[in-house]
Structure 1
């Protein structure tokens, strides 16, 4: 596995990986209508544009195996771990851990003293195993549909 810095040419693969992952990996914790609201194919053109812009501004990494993009993650300049997704066929292989380790190292190097994130029900145990603690369980609304997630925090 290779972890490298995000480039603009990654955005199509990133957005596709996001949709596939949400609809496959998160289906054990969310209803289909919630998955559709969270990762709607209707939003794909806008997501390609907005995510490309935000990932250029953030500290962003992708993971590749044999040239295939299998994961991505990014951290805002204010210490928010914004996105962390691993391809549905590459779960539980250390990819998320490698990406988060790289983000945490970059955050320390940038002088950040803490990281926060909003984790899905599915991702919460992973973040807890990495030392993140739940600050608040919350319901967020996407397209009129409520989804549970968790505000989490980790001092560095």
Structure 2
């Protein structure tokens, strides 16, 4: 597996990975109504244009195995971890940890003192293992459907 910088040609594969991961992995923590709202096909076009710009602006990395993207992560210049998703077929293989290590190193190189993220119920244990603390529980509303996530932070040494 190789961790590399994001390239604009990666976008479609990343969006497909995102949608499949939510549908297969997050289903254990969110209802089918919540999953449908989260992956709503009407917002895919909007998501594509927003992510395209954010990925260019952020520190964005992909994990690639045999030419296929198996995970991705992106971090803002202010230290907010926007997204971390691993393909549903490649869960629990250390890919998220490798991507997170890359982002953490990048944050330190840019003298960031703290990382924040909004973690799903599913992702919360991962971030807790990496010394993030819950700041507060949050309720997000997508297409009129409420979902719980957690604002979390980690102080960098």
TM-score for the superposition, normalised by structure 1: 0.99
CA distances 1:53-112 after superposition (whole Å, capped 9, x unpaired): 100000000001111100000000111000000000000000100001000000000010
Task: Tell me the equivalent position of 1:43.
Answer: 43
How many residues align structurally?
Answer: 156
Task: Tell me the equivalent position of 1:5.
Answer: 5
Task: Tell me the equivalent position of 1:143.
Answer: 143
Task: Tell me the equivalent position of 2:94.
Answer: 94
Task: Tell me the equivalent position of 1:63.
Answer: 63
Work out the CA distance in 2 between the residues paired with 1:47 and 1:141: 16
Work out the CA distance in 1 between the residues paired with 2:87 and 2:98: 14
Taking the TM superposition and a 5 Å limit, the aligned residue runs for 1:69-108 are 69-108=69-108
CA RMSD of aligned residues (A): 0.6
Work out the CA distance in 1 between the residues paired with 2:44 and 2:145: 18
Question: How far apart are 1:138 and its partner, in Å?
Answer: 1.1
Unaligned runs of 5+ in 1: none
Question: How far apart are 1:41 and its partner, in Å?
Answer: 1.5
TM-score for the superposition, normalised by structure 2: 0.98
Unaligned runs of 5+ in 2: none
Work out the CA distance in 1 between the residues paired with 2:40 and 2:23: 10
